[in-house]
Chains A and B, each alone.
Chain A
Amino acid sequence: MKIGSLLRKELKHLFYSPMAYVVSGIFLLITGWFFTNALFFVGEAELRGMMDVMPLLLMFFMPAITMRSLAEEKKVDTLQILMTLPVKEWEVILSKYIAVVSLFVVTLGFTLFYVFLLYLLGSPDGGMLFGNYLALFLLGCTYISIALFASTITSSQVIAFITGFSIIFVFFVLSRLQMILPVRVQSVVERFSMLSHFDSMLRGVVSLADVFYFICLNLFFLMLSTYMLVRRKG
């Protein structure tokens, strides 16, 4: 399987680079702080504090671990090696996407320690927790697909980061600005806003519509990334 071979290479790049460890480490520190903060100072054994900052936190972390994917290959010209191997553009994009998602999942896996603590300290709502993690996973994947697209349009990691961040930020702001928009536009914006879908999942209500929304967004940006790679050929 070519995807498998490509994926193994991408994973090597990710896990050989200090960037992955630094970013994941900081991520765990910050989420840990929010969790313990709620636990000890507010006296709440729950993930809400952590979940509230996640959309913002991931907005920085996902572009940071994704920006390298294609920008670096372009910059040092290894794209010539990669794209003259007998592989298709979508296989390259998908393998890079899965690699970063894997890193994200591993990092997210570490936060399960907090969940473990919750179970020690009380009896949390399992359904709610499942909803929370599914929402986090889907949101993170979506951010990654956007950041990956940003990485296809430039050979500079910095520009890839800024572009990825900006696109995600627009989605984010869009939902926060809802209230000041005319009522008619509100409902449309709400439908397209990541946060409203994310929030409804956080409440423990996992609707197929929300899941479908995120999957569509992922597919859209993966296809857009593939298109950029095809278009590069001129």
Chain B
Amino acid sequence: MIEVSSLVKYYGDIRAVDGVSFEVKKGEVVGFLGPNGAGKTTTMQILTGYLNPTSGRVLIDGIDVVEEPVKVKERIGYLPENTPLYEDLTPYDFLEFVASVRGIGNGRKAIKETAELCGIMDVLYRSIGTLSKGYRQRVGIAQAILHNPKILILDEPTTGLDPLQIEEIRQLIKELGKEKTVLLSTHILPEVEQTCSRVIVINNGKIVADSAIETLKGELSGTSVVVEYRGELPPESLSVFGSVQTLKTEDGLYSIRITPHESRDIREDVFRFFKEKDAVLLELYRERKSLEDIFRQLTEQ
């Protein structure tokens, strides 16, 4: 659905996007993750035909976005960052405008259905300038999905909302993701974990990771094991498995982390060790890194 190859974008001397390639298949919900200034917005603006790339190619549904921008724009729904809207229009007027430019046959019906789905029925005739951030975001999404596009591109759809609004918008995106191909950008990790099946991590204009969320966690999560036990056993005796770090000791209760020297699963060996020594093993688990850690690790390189 979306094929991006060797995308480069310069703003003057600034290289905002630096050789980005990725693919989004039909029906996928992909998170585009990166810190501020990473190049997410620029990339999305190129995908939607708002900007031309300095070099590289974007195919949307097989159509080159530079060669046939209008055709591409027909197929995409786009929510720009910070949801710019026409403040002096009402959501209805605004959606009616979008419907008529997009040539939607029964505009009135489409507007009503979309407004219901996005939950903006009761503000439809109020001036957009007077709406709360949450409602604005819904109007922005309504505008993007009005023509029932196959592809949705959402630039930081939950930034600036309060927790309740964030949850509502995420729910809406999940709902939309069931039948659409979605690319959504964010600099917040839980967002990706909650709504996306795959994540593309971008930093300094370059892609630093691209995989299913579980794979990414697996790939980067270390093989460290955390052991909690009671007894006389000194923590140093566990150094046969790798380097040992004491996390906590109190009243003969030890909590230690073992990081094996070579990457392998040492849980079985550790369990046998304790059984042999007849020590009381209270807890034994492989340490899972949070996406947070992974992200930091990726973007620090």
On whether the beta carbons of B54 and A86 are closer than 8 Å, the reply is no
On whether the beta carbons of B86 and A234 are closer than 8 Å, the reply is no
Q: Given contacts A8-B100, A234-B9, is CB(A76)–CB(B84) below 8 Å?
A: yes
On whether the beta carbons of B88 and A16 are closer than 8 Å, the reply is yes
On whether the beta carbons of A2 and B101 are closer than 8 Å, the reply is yes
Chain B hits for A17, CB < 8 A: 88
Q: Chain A nearest CB: distance from B154 CB in Å? A: 13
Chain A hits for B216, CB < 8 A: none
A residues 66-91 with Cβ under 8 Å of B?
76-81, 83-88
On whether the beta carbons of B89 and A12 are closer than 8 Å, the reply is yes
- Interface flag for B217 (CB, 8 Å): no
- Interface flag for A233 (CB, 8 Å): yes
On whether the beta carbons of A83 and B101 are closer than 8 Å, the reply is no
Main secondary structure of the interface of A (DSSP, over half): helix
B residues 216-231 with Cβ under 8 Å of A?
none
Query: How many A residues touch the partner, as a band?
Result: 20 to 34
The stretch of B28-36, B70-78, B113-121, B246-254 in contact with A is B70-78
On whether the beta carbons of A81 and B80 are closer than 8 Å, the reply is yes
On whether the beta carbons of B80 and A87 are closer than 8 Å, the reply is no
Q: Which residue of B lies closest to A76 (CB)?
A: B84
Query: Which of A5, A8, A12, A86 touches B73 (beta carbons < 8 Å)?
Result: A86
Q: Which residue of A lies closest to B52 (CB)?
A: A233
On whether the beta carbons of A80 and B45 are closer than 8 Å, the reply is yes
On whether the beta carbons of B70 and A87 are closer than 8 Å, the reply is yes
A residues 94-120 with Cβ under 8 Å of B?
none
Chain B hits for A5, CB < 8 A: 97, 100-101
Q: Chain B nearest CB: distance from A71 CB in Å? A: 14
Query: Which of B51, B84, B93 touches A234 (beta carbons < 8 Å)?
Result: B51
Query: Which of A76, A83, A86 touches B87 (beta carbons < 8 Å)?
Result: A76
Q: Mark B110-131, 1 if CB is under 8 A from A, else 0.
A: 0000000000000000000000
Q: Chain B nearest CB: distance from A58 CB in Å? A: 26
Complex Cα–Cα for A8 and B99 (A) = 13
On whether the beta carbons of A85 and B9 are closer than 8 Å, the reply is no
Q: Mark B92-113, 1 if CB is under 8 A from A, else 0.
A: 0100011011110000000000
- Interface flag for B181 (CB, 8 Å): no
Complex Cα–Cα for A96 and B128 (A) = 21
Q: Chain A nearest CB: distance from B54 CB in Å? A: 7
- Interface flag for B176 (CB, 8 Å): no
Complex Cα–Cα for A17 and B89 (A) = 11
- Interface flag for A6 (CB, 8 Å): yes
Q: Mark B2-27, 1 if CB is under 8 A from A, else 0.
A: 00000001010000000000000000
List 29 interface pairs A-B (beta carbons < 8 Å), by A numbering: A2-B101, A5-B97, A5-B100, A6-B101, A8-B100, A9-B86, A12-B88, A12-B89, A12-B93, A16-B88, A77-B84, A78-B84, A78-B85, A80-B45, A80-B78, A80-B80, A81-B80, A83-B49, A84-B48, A84-B49, A84-B73, A84-B78, A85-B73, A86-B73, A86-B101, A233-B51, A234-B9, A234-B52, A234-B54
Among all A-B residue pairs, the 9 with the closest Cβ atoms: A77-B84, A5-B100, A80-B80, A86-B73, A233-B52, A5-B101, A9-B97, A86-B74, A86-B70
Interface residues of B (CB under 8 A from A): 9, 11, 45, 48-52, 54, 70-71, 73-74, 76, 78, 80, 82, 84-89, 93, 97-98, 100-103, 143
Known: A16-B89, A233-B52. 17 other contacts (CB 8 A): A5-B100, A6-B101, A9-B86, A12-B89, A77-B84, A78-B84, A80-B50, A80-B80, A81-B80, A81-B84, A81-B85, A84-B73, A84-B76, A85-B101, A85-B102, A86-B71, A87-B73
Interface residues of A (CB under 8 A from B): 2, 4-6, 8-9, 12-13, 16-17, 76-81, 83-88, 233-234
